[in-house]
Every structure is written in structure tokens, then in C-alpha cells.
């Protein structure tokens, strides 16, 4: 089997390529730059609408994870890059795949639990209505950008990913130093829910979804137990054997990070992975305590 991976240079894409390669799956990368190690790569320029279609012929599955990082201050220019790198890039890829002589069977496209917005204690499933705000709007359009692929008969999966936990990048890696120094603590009230998934589980889920032909549409890529920020803080403190009692007030988050801080750190999203459960996916890390102990061990 040959799998095209967009965003293979990123946190999730890099881990996915390693995982699939170990299963002897052939990988073709989709990147804005060529691979320094000379790995097979299709170069594209999504901002300019350039993607060499002929180089995609013969691919069986596509996993698309590319997009401007959402961390950092959300200036108008940054928001525009967040939006266009996902929506325009996905539309270009989807239209190109639809026009191939032999289109791939499946397109698994990254999406995010940001779709559900700030929902307090409500549990959101794949059937839940959208929330409100910038992330909801981006995700809605991002998912709609795959229309051409769907119309061409390609099975499309929208992977609504939660906070990805890995010691080598993303949110957890940023938290490790302050928590190790005993400077960790809950954010704001700590009552906001956080839907998380370990990087190990995420790459296994993607592999599972590539082969499970019966699954299409929205799939929540989160562990079965979302936790509040206060519970996450306690769990990380325990895993590192450090006190985690210095709260970060909400006003400071708003001051330092503006809209990004409100949307990512203070809002509450409690998501359940219903479709993964019914499709028979078995989690490596279903609970946070065990996941964090394993992730921080030796790091």
C-alpha cells in the first residue's frame, strides 16, 4: 500500500510516517519543501495553488495533516494563514485527487475539536452542533473543502483531533519545564474541560481508519475520558512528582495570549469518541494518569 502524507514534517505526520513505515507501508510525503534526507516527496505550493497531479497517481490512501500552527498570537495576518493553509490547501488537494485517473480509496483529513467551541460541561459527540467563534468557522470550512473528493467517490474521514499529548512536541512538551520547576498550576478556574489524545493513539487511529472501509465522515480523535484543566494539572504534577499549585489567572492568559488564549486555554470542550468506539478501535492510553506517567518517564 502507498500512502501520501501531507504535513509529514510535523508532530503528528512525523510520528505517523515512522509508524506506517514500520508496517512496511510505502510513504510519499507532501511538503512545501524537499526532504533533506531525499525521501520521496511531492512538492506543493498551496498558497499559489500549485500541486503536480501526475505525481499523485498510484497512491492508495491520503492522510492530510498540513496547516499553519495555531499557537502564537492571533493577529489578523496569522488568522488568515491559519484559515487559508487549511481551507485552500485542502480544497486544492481534494480537487486534484478527484481528477486523478485512479483516485485513492480514502482521504483522512485533520480537523479539530475546536469545531465544538466553548461548551461548559456538555458532552459533545460527532453528532453535536457546531459551537461559535474563529475555530468553529475555520473547521467548518476546512471540512467542507473536501467536497470534490467526496463527489468523486473517495471515502473522506474528518478527524476532529483533541490536544495531542507527546513529550516531543505540542502542548505537553511546553508544559514540562514549568511543571518540573514546581511552577505548574491550573489555568483560570480549572473547571474547563480538555479533550486529549496521546500521539501514540492518534497514529494508531489513523492506521485503523485507513483500513476500516465502513467508517466515513466525522470521527472524534480523543481519548474516552476528557478531564478538567484542574484534574489534568493534578495528574501531571503526580506523574512528575512535583507540586502543581500555582494557578495562572484567566486575566493573565487573556493579557498574554488574547483570543488564542481564550479559545485554546480557557474554553471548555468535552468530547467523546463514539465512532472510534463503535468501529472497534482499542486505546493504548484510555486514561490520563497512566498516559502521563508513561509519557514523562525518561523525558
Ligand X SMILES: NC(=O)c1ccc[n+]([C@@H]2O[C@H](COP(=O)([O-])OP(=O)(O)OC[C@H]3O[C@@H](n4cnc5c(N)ncnc54)[C@H](OP(=O)(O)O)[C@@H]3O)[C@@H](O)[C@H]2O)c1
The residues of the shown chain that bind ligand X, judged by CB under 6 A, are 7, 9-13, 31-33, 46, 65-69, 81, 85, 89, 110, 112, 161, 163-164, 170-171
By C-beta, is 70 or 243 nearer to ligand X? 70
**Shortest Å, Cβ 182 to ligand X:** 25
Closest separation in Å from C-beta 101 to ligand X: 26
- Output the smallest distance, CB 32 to ligand X, in A: 4
The CA-based angle 288-289-295, given to 5 degrees, is: 80
CB of 51 to ligand X, least distance (A): 11
| Closest to ligand X by CB, 68 or 182 | 68
* Least distance in angstroms from the C-beta of 288 to ligand X: 15
CB of 115 to ligand X, least distance (A): 10
* CB closer to ligand X out of 160 and 212: 160
**Strand ranges, E, within the chain:** 2-6, 26-31, 41-43, 61-64, 106-112, 123-124, 155-161, 163-165, 193-194, 196-198, 217-221, 227-228, 270-271
Question: What is the nearest approach in angstroms of ligand X to the Cβ of residue 87?
Answer: 11
- Show Cβ contacts of residue 71 under 8 Å, excluding neighbours closer than 6 positions: 260, 264
Whether the CB-CB separation of 159 and 222 falls below 8 Å is answered with no
CB of 244 to ligand X, least distance (A): 21
Q: How far apart are CA 289 and CA 122, in angstroms?
A: 23
**Residue 159 bridge partners (DSSP):** 110, 219
Determine how many CB atoms are found less than 10 A away from the CB of residue 64: 24
Give the span between the Cα atoms of 112 and 121, in whole angstroms.
Answer: 18
Residue nearest ligand X (C-beta atom): 10
What is the distance between the alpha carbons of residues 121 and 171, in angstroms, rounded to a whole number? 22
Q: With respect to ligand X, which residue has the nearer C-beta, 217 or 243?
A: 217
In terms of CB distance, is 135 or 215 closer to ligand X? Answer: 135
CA 221/CA 164 separation, integer angstroms: 9
Decide: residue 88, CB within 10 A, 0-12 exposed, 13-18 middle, 19+ buried.
middle
Looking at beta carbons only, is 233 or 269 nearer to ligand X? 269
- Whichever of 202 and 253 has its CB closer to ligand X, that residue is 202
Question: In terms of CB distance, is 77 or 249 closer to ligand X?
Answer: 77
Distances in Å between the alpha carbon of 2 and those of 36, 45, 210, 262?
21, 22, 11, 40
Amino acid at each position: 500500500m502507498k500512502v501520501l502524507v501531507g504535513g509529514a514534517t510535523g508532530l503528528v505526520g512525523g510520528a505517523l510516517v515512522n509508524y506506517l513505515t514500520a508496517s512496511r507501508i510505502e510513504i510519499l510525503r507532501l511538503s512545501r519543501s524537499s526532504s533533506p534526507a531525499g525521501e520521496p516527496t511531492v512538492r506543493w505550493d498551496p498558497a499559489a495553488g500549485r500541486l503536480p497531479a501526475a505525481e499523485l497517481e498510484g497512491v492508495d490512501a491520503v492522510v492530510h495533516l498540513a496547516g499553519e500552527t495555531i499557537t502564537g498570537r492571533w493577529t489578523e495576518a496569522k488568522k488568515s494563514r491559519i484559515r487559508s493553509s487549511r481551507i485552500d490547501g485542502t480544497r486544492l488537494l481534494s480537487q486534484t485527487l478527484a481528477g486523478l485517473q485512479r483516485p485513492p480509496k480514502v482521504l483522512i483529513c485533520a480537523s479539530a475539536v475546536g469545531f465544538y467551541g466553548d461548551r461548559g460541561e456538555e458532552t459533545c459527540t460527532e453528532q453535536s452542533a457546531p459551537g461559535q467563534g474563529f475555530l468553529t468557522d475555520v473547521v467548518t470550512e476546512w471540512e467542507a473543502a473536501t467536497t470534490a473528493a467526496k463527489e468523486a467517490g473517495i471515502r473522506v474521514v474528518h478527524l476532529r483531533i483533541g490536544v495531542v499529548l507527546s513529550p516531543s512536541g505540542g502542548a505537553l512538551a511546553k508544559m514540562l519545564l514549568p511543571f518540573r520547576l514546581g511552577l505548574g498550576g491550573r489555568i483560570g478556574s480549572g473547571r474547563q474541560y480538555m479533550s486529549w489524545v496521546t500521539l501514540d493513539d492518534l497514529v494508531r487511529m489513523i492506521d485503523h481508519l485507513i483500513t476500516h472501509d465502513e467508517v466515513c465522515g466525522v470521527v472524534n480523535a480523543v481519548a474516552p475520558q476528557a478531564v478538567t484543566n484542574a484534574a489534568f494539572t493534578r495528574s501531571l504534577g503526580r506523574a512528575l512528582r512535583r507540586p502543581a499549585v500555582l494557578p495562572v489567572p484567566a486575566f493573565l492568559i487573556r493579557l498574554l495570549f488574547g483570543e488564542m488564549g481564550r479559545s485554546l486555554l480557557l474554553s471548555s470542550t468535552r468530547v467523546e469518541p463514539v465512532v472510534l468506539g463503535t468501529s472497534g478501535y482499542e486505546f493504548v492510553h484510555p486514561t490520563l494518569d497512566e498516559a502521563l506517567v508513561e509519557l514523562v518517564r525518561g523525558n
